[in-house]
Amino acid sequence: MRAAEVSSVEENRSEPANATQMDRQPIASGTVFFDLGGPIVCDSLADGYDQVPLELLREDGLDVTAADLERARRAAVASFAPSFAAAVIWHLVQPDGERFVRLSARCGEHFQSLPTPPLREGIREAARALRQAGFTLRLATKYGPARQVELLRRHRLDGLFAPSPEPPYPKPDVRYYQWLVEVVDPGPGLKVMVGDRLDCDVVPARQAGLRAIRIRVGDHRDQQPRTPGEVPDHDLPDLEGLVEAILALQSEANRAPDAPGQGGPW
* pLDDT greater than 70 at residue 232: yes
CA distance 6 to 158: 11
Kindly list the structural domains of the chain, giving each domain's residue range(s) and its CATH number in brackets, ordered by start. Answer: 3-43+119-255 (3.40.50.1000), 50-113 (no CATH)
Q: Helix/strand/coil (H, E, C) string of 5-38?
A: HHCCCCCCCCCCCCHHHHHCCCCCCEEEEECCEC
pLDDT digits (tens, 9 = 90+) for 65-119: 999 999 999 999 999 999 999 999 999 999 999 999 999 999 999 988 888 899 9
What local confidence, expressed as pLDDT, does residue 54 receive? 94
* pLDDT greater than 50 at residue 231: yes
DSSP string, the chain: --HHHHTTSPPP-PPPPPHHHHHTSPPP-EEEEE-SBTTTB--SGGGT--SS-HHHHHHTT----HHHHHHHHHHHHHTT-S-HHHHHHHHHHTT-HHHHHHHHHHHHHHHHHSPPPPBPTTHHHHHHHHHHHTEEEEE--SS-HHHHHHHHHHTT-TTT-BPP---SS-TTSHHHHHHIIIIIS--SSEEEEEES-IIIIIHHHHHTT-EEEEE--GGGTT---SSGGGS-SEEESSSTTHHHHHHHHHHHHHH-TTSTTSSS--
pLDDT above 90 coverage of the chain, percent: 76
* pLDDT greater than 70 at residue 21: no
Amino acid identity of 44? S
Parallel, antiparallel, or unpaired: how do β-strands 211-215 and 190-195 relate?
Answer: parallel
What local confidence, expressed as pLDDT, does residue 262 receive? 47
Q: Choose the weakest-confidence range: 2-6, 84-88, 195-199, 208-212.
A: 2-6
pLDDT digits (tens, 9 = 90+) for 127-184: 999 999 999 999 999 989 999 999 999 999 999 999 999 999 999 999 999 999 999 9
The pTM for the full model equals 0.85
What local confidence, expressed as pLDDT, does residue 5 receive? 41
